[in-house]
Amino acid sequence: MTKNIKFDFTGKVTIVTGAARGIGREMVKAFIQAGSFVMAVDRDQEGLLETCQRLGDRCRQAVADIRNKNEVAGLMQAVKEAFGGLDICVNNAAVAPHTALLEESVEVWDTVYAVNCRGTFLMTQAAARLMIEGGKGGRIINFSSAAAKRGSAGSAAYASSRAATESFSRVAAIELAPHNILVNTVSPGLIDTQPKPLPPDMKKGLEARIPTLPLARPGWVSEVSDLVLFLASDASSYMTGAVISVDGGSSVGVRPAGPVVDDDIRYDWVTGVHRTE
Ligand SMILES: NC(=O)c1ccc[n+]([C@@H]2O[C@H](COP(=O)([O-])OP(=O)(O)OC[C@H]3O[C@@H](n4cnc5c(N)ncnc54)[C@H](O)[C@@H]3O)[C@@H](O)[C@H]2O)c1
């Protein structure tokens, strides 16, 4: 689908974490196309190289683990040296294991929280400090998931960690507002990012789930990056502390299985008369 959407981030500096694949890779491309300087960040060096190839000089890359305070500090130093400051920070990196609650190990639980919560906290704090130093305000965009709002078997650690990100982002929005730093959260639903072919069970599960989504299809990575660019742009200048879904309606309900009809014909809803047949 061709869309007539244009954002201009000429001269702005953007960090995108989790840039080695999926939604992060798409966001790096989108910010570069919109004129921004971009620091693409991931712990996967090979994936980062692939993301940044052919994107030109405005795209730099940094291998860093967002769980690690020193690596996050080093990353901000690299951004300062490369670009002189920071305007936009997109905290997209996350891990999302699918594990039964009764089988879940403490190690996996702690890893999920270390990446999704501590990583988002460390990145938000360090990015905000750099933005405050620059004195021009900024935008921080954090990531949640539709799974944060509704129960989803297998996602105890992931879903609860994303709910924590939403809560954290509301506090960050309030504390950073006096510095003119706006903090918003993007909550995707099912987005087509999985490397193919899928394992058979996952394929089966998705095939059953997709028709139940209100829009009956997974989202595209570009549909998430469109929202992120909007939240980084002047068009969202009165938005902070918001959690915005980009989920094809999955957080509000399921697609009707057929035409919507009045299935109880025993009663006239206007007159209150019970019909006899
Ligand atoms: N894809 C979906 O259907 C979906 C649905 C809901 C929410 N989300 C959210 O969207 C975001 C991106 O999802 P995705 O599917 O593109 O993810 P993905 O798994 O494809 O990519 C995540 C990236 O983060 C990187 N990463 C993981 N841990 C890291 C760490 N400690 N330090 C640095 N980098 C690290 C990985 O190497 C990877 O490149 C996540 O925040 C996720 O919670 C995705």
- The conformational region for residue 18 under phi > 0 = left, psi -120 to 50 = alpha, else beta, is left
The arithmetic mean of pLDDT across residues 160-169, rounded, is: 98
> Which atom of ligand 1 sits closest to the CA of residue 194?
20
Ligand 1 pocket, mutate which of 193, 220, 223, 224 (most atoms under 8 A from CB) = 193
Q: Are strands 88-91 and 59-63 parallel, antiparallel or unpaired?
A: unpaired
Distance in Å, CA 20 to ligand 1 centroid = 9
Strand order in the sheet with 243-246: 59-63, 37-42, 13-17, 88-91, 138-143, 181-188, 243-246
Distance in Å, CA 265 to ligand 1 centroid = 49
The arithmetic mean of pLDDT across residues 23-32, rounded, is: 98
C-beta of residue 252 within 8 angstroms of C-beta of residue 213:
no
C-beta of residue 166 within 8 angstroms of C-beta of residue 144:
yes
Query: Among residues 52, 8, 3, which one has the least CA distance to residue 31?
Result: 8
For 263, counting Cβ atoms within 10 Å of its Cβ (0-12 exposed, 13-18 middle, 19+ buried), the class is: exposed
Q: Which residues line ligand 1 (CB under 6 A)?
A: 17-18, 20-24, 42-44, 47, 65-67, 92-96, 115, 119, 143, 145, 162, 188, 190-191, 193
Question: What is the percent of the chain with per-residue pLDDT over 90, rounded to a whole number?
Answer: 90
190: pLDDT strictly greater than 80: yes
Confidence of residue 2 (pLDDT cuts 50, 70, 90): confident
The arithmetic mean of pLDDT across residues 225-245, rounded, is: 98
- What local confidence, expressed as pLDDT, does residue 275 receive? 82
Confidence of residue 277 (pLDDT cuts 50, 70, 90): low
Q: How far apart are CA 140 and CA 173, in angstroms?
A: 9
C-beta of residue 17 within 8 angstroms of C-beta of residue 93:
yes
Q: How far apart are CA 65 and CA 104, in angstroms?
A: 23
